[in-house]
Amino acid sequence: ESLISLQEYLDRKGCLHENEARQITRQIAFTLNNLMTMGVFHRDVKPGNILVDVETGETKIIDFGCGDLVRKGFYTFFSGTNMFMPPEWFREGMYSAEEATVWTLGLVHLIMVTGLHPFRTFDDIAACHLYKYVPTTLSPESKNFIFQCMASDPGRRSKLHDIVFHPFLNC
């Protein structure tokens, strides 16, 4: 079986080397950017909804059951996996498609390089004290990527179309 979920892949390997995580993150970022450009908001990006071909390294995003069309403004109802929702959902009860997608992209990358979900409670997510979760051993580019994706203030997160050109994903 060469096609498994990223979650199963991580369960087998533990944390990934930064270069391998970069290759996977790059593919996810491009796919999410393409989906967003087509007006599709996945709303449940997580390791269990990403398939990895262990022979080729190619990824696919699956399970659009929580998906929606991208709309302007805020979503005020929840759909997806709680522990992957952005902090603004827990603080304000609303979120926007692009900022939530960028948050989950950063979170999935962080999970890949650490081997575990950094947050234990919804309060941890709302507080978003990333510095205690991001390993100091990561390259400056990887840390910058995570901080740009997972800024506590959604208005300070990078835009998805800018993320695909982030130096970390393109070195």
Q: Which residues are catalytic?
A: 44
Stretch (H or E) spanning 52: strand 50-53
Query: What SS3 state is found at 50?
Result: strand
What is the phi/psi pair of residue 156, to 5°? -100, -5
**CA 121 to CA 114: how far, in whole Å?**
18
Q: Is the dihedral of CA 154, 35, 43, 163 positive or negative?
A: negative
